[in-house]
Structure 1
Amino acid sequence: MSDYIVGLTGGIGCGKSTVTAMFAELGVQYVDADIVAREVVMPGSVCLNAIQRYFGDNILQVNGELNRAALRQRIFSNSADKRWLEQLLHPAIRQQLLQQLAALTSPYALLVAPLLLENKLQQYVQRVLVIDLPESLQLSRAAARDNAGEAQIKAIMAAQISRDERLKLADDIITNDSSIADLTPQIGALHQRYLQLASAH
């Protein structure tokens, strides 16, 4: 098991996937909270069965998978439904994250989570690494990537903690306001640092 875990987080469109892939190329293993969140609602899962019972059959697609768009609409307008869903999913996701982290074997590992700080997952990591860029750039990159409207992205940004708060809680910061070439030395330096910290841990 990797005894040293770095929590990697950042707002929408800040380049978490790119940075994670670059660490992975250096042999660093990781668990991605977004992937785990999809795994816990796979067809046949306890969570999906509970969601179907609570929201009804029309919350499923024809192939039996969760209809995420329909679910988003339901919880967007109903805080009680949103609370119910969070109480079901958060413990299941957390348990799965911890199980997957326990199976990793690289000298240190990453816990990649957009809502690391919002969901208090930093208690499971030794350091918090924030990928940062100006909010205007965040907006344009997320819109281009997700083919989404500005209002929708602003709503997602508003649901996350502010950039200032995130930076205050960071142990390390990668600035991703330029090119991939600019990321390489930042990631290389942090990689060496984390290897040292992990061996001393």
Structure 2
Amino acid sequence: MLKIGITGGIGSGKSTVCRIFELLGIPVYYADAMAKEIMNRDPELKAQIKQHFGEDIYDSQGLLDRQRLGGIVFRDQARLQLLNSLVHPATIRDSEQWAARQQAPYVLKEAALLFESEAFHYLDKVIGVSAPQPLRLLRVMQRDQASREEVLARMHKQMDETIKMRLCDYVIYNDEQQMVIPQVLALHEKLTH
């Protein structure tokens, strides 16, 4: 079974594209959402996070205080890199186990940081979802009720969109100029044959 990554900058429309693939019967592993879950359920990862960020980073029910952790890592690039170095391998392991349980011609792993986390090494191909920055900015501002400055700050922490798309094997354009569904159907056809 093929393991295909799907990535793109914030606001590019990765989730929309993934939902279309799901309608075609393709299982999708949402790495960002699963990473949050894994930080609460993986005993080894929890121990590592406690070791580096303090025992009280988890509450009395054993759940991660995400707001507190975010306050620590988003002000300190070295601490963010440390957290990512702990979480990314655990998420890659979990996605590998998940993929082995699926019954489909291929599976998708959706992740904003597919290249940055080195997770692409565990995949057969990578799909990029591309949209122009002004459109991505508007989408995220509306979706997250965030200011232009907040969204731009988040965008600047991600890999440059042009570089990211060059690293992908396939690109789906979600620019409101080209229809997305025909692009997904053509790619699905290619991946199943």
TM-score, normalization: structure 1?
0.86
CA distance in 2, matches of 1:4, 1:149: 39
Q: RMSD in angstroms over aligned alpha carbons?
A: 2.1
Residue 40 of structure 1: SS of its match in structure 2? helix
Give 2:167's aligned amino acid: L
Q: Distance in 2 between matches of 1:23 and 1:104?
A: 15
Amino acid at match of 1:149: S
TM-score (structure 2 length as normaliser): 0.90
After superposition, residues 28-39 of structure 1 pair within 5 angstroms as 28-39=26-37
**Uncovered stretches (5+) of structure 2, i.e. residues with no partner:** none
2:149 is aligned, of 136, 148, 151, to 151
Q: Which residue in the other structure is 1:129 paired with?
A: 127
Match of 1:190 in 2: 187
Q: Can you give the 5+ residue segments of structure 1 that lack an aligned partner in the other structure?
A: 197-201
Kept in 1: contact 2:116–2:159 (CA 8 A): yes
Instruction: Give the CA deviation at 1:102.
Output: 1.5
3-state DSSP class of the match of 1:11? coil
1:37-94 CA-to-partner distances (Å, cap 9, x unmatched) read: 0121116733234423433355345754222222122112234422332232222111
Equivalent residues in 2 for 1:22-171, closer than 5 Å: 22-42=20-40, 45-56=43-54, 58-60=56-58, 64-171=62-169
* C-alpha contact (below 8 Å) 2:13/2:174 kept by paired residues: yes
Percent identical: 33
In 1, Cα distance between the equivalents of 2:50 and 2:188? 43
Structure 1 residue 173: Cα displacement: 1.0
For the Cα contact (< 8 Å) 2:2–2:107, is it kept in 1?
yes
* Pairs aligned (count): 193
- Which stretch of structure 1 is more off in the superposition, 143-152 or 130-139? 143-152
